[in-house]
Amino acid sequence: MSQSGMNKAKITKFINNRLHFIPLAILAVWTIFPLLWAFSSSFKKPAEVYQTPPQLIPTDFNFANYMKVFEYDGFLRFLLNSIFLSVTTTVLAVIISILAGYGFARYAFRMRHILLMLILVPRIIPRASLIVPLFTGISALKLLDTYTALIITYVATAIPLGTWILAGFFKVIPKALEEAAQIDGAKPWQMIWYVVIPISLPAILTVSIFSLREAWNEFPFVLAFTTSSEMRTLPYQLFMLQESLGMQDWPMMLAFTLVTITPLLILYLIFEKRVVNGVTSGAVK
C-alpha cells in the first residue's frame, strides 16, 4: 500500500481533482440502487408496489413478505440444499486445490506443463455451454437428480481458479520454512498441514469465498441436472417462483431475492478486504 501510495500521489496529478467524483457517484448509485429498490419494495404490501409516484421508503415496514418466504412450502429444504452444496463443494475444492497448487508450486516433475495446462485451460470453458454433454454423461451414469452429480461438477469448475490462485501464493512463500521442517523429518502432508496452510490462510480464504459464491449462485447445472423439487437450490426456486405464483406477488419475490443474496453479502462484508485484495492480486493474472 505504501509503495503504491507513492505512485498514486504522482499519477493522480493528471486526473482532474473533482471530475472523478462524478464516476464515483454513478458507480455508487449504479451498484447499489437495484438492490436498495428491491430491498425497500420487499417491505411493501403487494398493492403498494403499483403506487405512483414510487416511494423509496415504504409507509410502514411490513415483514409479512419475509414471513411468507420463510413459510413457503419447502423453503427450508431449498436453503439446506444451497448450504449443503456450497459448503461441500468449497471444502472439497479447497482441499484439492491446496494439494494441486502445492504440487505445481514446489515440485519439478515430468509433464508438469501439460498437466498444468490441463487444469488451467478449462478456466476459459463457460459452464453454461457444458450442460448438454454433461447432462447426457450424468444420465448415463444414472446420477441425474442427485447431490453427487452437482457436487462433482461444482468442484470440477472451482478447481482451476483455486489451483491457480494457491499455486501463485505458495510460490512466493519462502522455501526456508519448509526446508527447516524437512530437516526435522516432516512428511509432505505434514509440511502442508503445519507449515503451508497456516501462512496461506488469506489465499485459502479468497479461494473459499470464490467457490462458495460459485456454488451458492449456480443456476444452469442445477436447472439441467435435477428434476425433483426436493433437489432445488435457492436460485432455482427463485426462478420457479416466477412461474408458480398464481399471481405476481412482487414484494414476496423481492423478499425471496434478498434472502438468497444476504448470506453471501454478510460473509463478504466480514472478509471484504481480503477478497478485494485477493481479486486484484492473484485471481486475475
Partner 1 sequence: MSVNQQVTAGPSTKSSTFRKKSVPYLLIFPAVLFVAGVLAYAVISGILLSFFQYDLNTIGRPFVWFQNYIYLFTNSAFLNSLMRSIIFVALSVIIGLILGLAFAISLYRTTKYGDFFKGLSLIPYLVSGVATAVMFRFMFASDVGLINMILDTFGLEQVLFLADPNWALFVTVLANVWGIVPFTVLILLSGIQAIDSELFEAAIVDGASKLNLLFKILLPLISPMMGIALIWLSFASFNMFDVILPLTGGGPLRATEYLAVYMYNVAFTEFQYSLGSTVMVVILFFNVTLSVIYLKIFKSAE
Partner 2 sequence: MKKNLLFLFVFLLIGMLTLAACSSNGGEEDASTDEGSVDNDSNDSGEDNEQASSDDGENITLTVWFGRGDFIPEDNFETFHEENPNITVETDVIPLEQSVSDFIRNFNAGNAPDIFQTYHENIPALNTQNALYDMTSQYEEWEANDPDSYNKLMPQAFDVTSYDGAIHGLGVHMGPRWHVYRNDLFEEAGLDFPETWDDVIESGIALRDSGLLEDGQYAYAIVAGADNAPNWFQSQFQAMGGEYVDGVPQMDTEAGHYLIDFYQTLKKEELIHPESISWTSGEMRGAFIGENAAMATIGDNIFPVIKEDLSEYGEKWVASTQPHRPGAEDKWRPNASSWPMVVSQDIEHPEAVTKVLQYLIDTETVREVAHRYQPTTNSEVMTEQEYFEAKPWQEELAEPFGEAEMIPSSTVHPQVMSVLLELMQYTITNPDEDPASIAETYQAQLDDLG
CB of 174 to partner 1, least distance (A): 20
Considering only residues 129 to 148 of the shown chain, the ones binding partner 2 according to CB under 8 A are 139-140, 142-147
Among 77, 106, 127, 213, binds partner 2 (CB under 8 A): 77
Instruction: Identify which of residues 42 and 90 has a Cβ nearer to partner 2 in the complex.
Output: 90
Q: Which of residues 187-246 bind partner 1 (CB under 8 A)?
A: 187-189, 213, 216-217, 219-220, 223-224, 235-236, 238-239, 242
Within 234-253, which residues bind partner 2 (CB under 8 A)? 242-248
Residues 58 and 48 sit within 8 Å (Cβ to Cβ): yes
Q: Buried b / exposed e across 75-109, counting CB within 10 Å, b at 16+?
A: beebbebbeebbebbbebbbebbbebbbbbbbeee
Strand ranges in the chain using DSSP code E only, listed in sequence order: none
Tell me which amino acid residue 136 is.
Answer: T
- Cα separation, 101 vs 164, whole angstroms: 7
Phi-psi region of 111 (alpha: psi -120 to 50; beta: other; left: phi over 0): left
List the x/- string, 31-60, binding to partner 2 by CB under 8 A: -------------------x----------
C-alpha cell recorded at residue 123: 478456466
Write out the binding residues for partner 1, residues 38-77 only, by CB under 8 A. Answer: 38, 41, 49-50, 52-54
Q: Please count the residues of this chain forming the interface with partner 1, following the rule CB under 8 A.
A: 103
Residue 249, φ and ψ in degrees, nearest 5: -95, 85
Q: Identify which of 224, 231, 196 has the alpha carbon closest to the alpha carbon of residue 94.
A: 196
Binding at 173: pick from partner 2, partner 1, none (beta carbon under 5-8 Å per type): none
Distances in whole angstroms, Cα of residue 96 to Cα of each of 121, 190, 259, 283: 17, 16, 31, 17
| Subset of residues 240 to 279 that bind partner 1, contact rule: CB under 8 A | 242, 250, 253-254, 257, 260-261, 264-265, 268-269, 272-273, 275-276, 279
Chain residues that interact with partner 2, rule: CB under 8 A = 50, 77, 80, 84, 87-88, 91, 139-140, 142-147, 193-194, 197-198, 201, 227-228, 230-231, 242-248
